[in-house]
């Protein structure tokens, strides 16, 4: 059977994979959650929006005759990734995750590891601080219980409606970013601490490199735990897996 992929996207890695898949003449659909106003165009047919949990995803996989699923979502998109594991197991369709290895602290880094967003809020403490909160827009409300801090927010789209943080500045930018620019931004806002997810990859690491240069502490939110699944770290490795996965179900 010719491959017919479902690529779960929303990352630069997913976009790179879609390009390679289209160039190789492999059929597939690219799926976005629909979180940003103008998602990057893709060279594959697009679908946008949730599937309706693991059962909805399993139904979609069956209806669309999907032969392989590639989960190239962000390492913190844990709901989608859990659903992909469950749905692919239910359908007997091979699944691979295209992931970025997490960042590792380097000499000069001052990271405080926390397991989740809630603990990141606690880690900021009682005393008012100037925080670069570079975690996207989805979890800003969780910082509302620490309104004493100034927050510099970097968002892909301009915020819609009121933000829950009274003392803040908003930078609208999609990146990629450079350490030089991020260091200048942090200096301009007199930032004293950075809050980051351990996303891994090059696109988002500028703020971490900038924090090291400026000798600033980083509250580093560790990745969520996910069920065991096959993971690969490059587009080439996924293309190679595609050549073999149909005869090697469940790799
Ligand atoms: N979390 C981050 O820090 C982050 C950063 C950069 C980019 N992103 C991207 O933004 C998207 C949403 O991330 P999230 O953290 O909100 O995910 P999430 O919490 O794991 O997903 C929540 C729900 O959104 C839907 N969904 C997520 N990704 C989808 C996709 N690619 N295609 C179709 N439906 C999707 C699913 O709904 P149903 O259950 O209804 O299927 C999923 O259960 C992902 O595509 C991710 O790659 C996330």
Q: Which residues line ligand 1 (CB under 6 A)?
A: 8-11, 31-33, 35, 50-53, 56-57, 73-74, 76-80, 83, 136, 138, 197
Burial class (CB in 10 A: 0-12, 13-18, 19+), 49: exposed
Task: Return the pLDDT at 7.
Answer: 98
pLDDT recorded at residue 250: 45
Going from the C-alpha of 162 to that of each of 55, 119, 137, the distances in angstroms are: 35, 24, 12
Considering the entire predicted model, what is its pTM?
Answer: 0.89
The pLDDT assigned to 61 comes to: 98
pLDDT for res 161: 86
Distance CA 3, CA 65 (A): 9
Locate the DSSP E strands across the chain.
Answer: 4-8, 27-32, 46-48, 68-71, 95-98, 110-114, 130-133, 150-155, 168-172, 193-197, 217-221, 231-232
Dist. CA 129 → ligand 1 center (Å): 31
Q: From 14, 51, 80, 138, give the residue whose CB has the most ligand 1 atoms within 8 Å, as the site to mutate.
A: 80
What pLDDT shows up at residue 246?
61
Return the pLDDT at 174. Answer: 84
Distance from residue 137's CA to the centre of ligand 1 (Å): 13
DSSP character string of 127-167 = S--EEEE-S-STTGGGGTT-TTSEEEEEESSPPPS--S-SS
What whole-number distance in Å separates Cα of residue 76 and Cα of residue 70?
Answer: 16
Query: What is the 97 CA–ligand 1 centroid distance (Å)?
Result: 14
Could you report the average pLDDT of every consecutive run of 10 residues in the chain (251 residues)?
A: 95 96 98 91 97 98 98 96 98 97 96 97 98 92 97 92 94 91 98 97 92 98 96 97 69 46
């Amino acid at each position: 059977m010719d491959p017919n992929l479902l690529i779960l996207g929303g990352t630069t890695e997913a976009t790179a994979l879609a390009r390679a898949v289209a160039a190789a003449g492999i059929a597939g659909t690219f799926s976005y959650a629909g979180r940003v106003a103008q998602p990057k165009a893709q060279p594959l047919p697009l679908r946008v929006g949730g599937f309706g949990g693991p059962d909805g995803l399993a139904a979609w996989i069956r209806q669309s005759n999907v032969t392989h699923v590639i989960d190239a979502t962000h390492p913190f998109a844990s709901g989608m990734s859990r659903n992909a594991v469950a749905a692919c197991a239910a359908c007997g369709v091979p699944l691979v995750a295209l992931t970025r290895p997490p960042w590792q602290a380097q000499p000069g880094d001052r990271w405080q590891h926390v397991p989740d967003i809630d603990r990141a809020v606690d880690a900021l403490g009682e005393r008012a601080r100037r925080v670069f909160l570079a975690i996207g827009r989805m979890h800003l409300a969780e910082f509302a219980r620490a309104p004493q801090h100034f927050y510099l927010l970097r968002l892909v789209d301009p915020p819609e409606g009121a933000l829950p943080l009274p003392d803040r500045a908003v930078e609208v930018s999609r990146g990629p970013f450079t350490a030089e620019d991020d260091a200048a931004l942090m200096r301009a806002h007199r930032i004293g601490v950075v809050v980051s997810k351990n996303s891994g990859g090059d696109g988002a690491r500028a703020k971490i490199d900038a924090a090291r240069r400026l000798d600033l502490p980083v509250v580093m939110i560790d990745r969520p735990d996910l069920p065991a699944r096959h993971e690969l770290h490059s587009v080439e490795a996924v293309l190679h897996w595609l050549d073999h996965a149909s005869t090697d179900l469940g790799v």
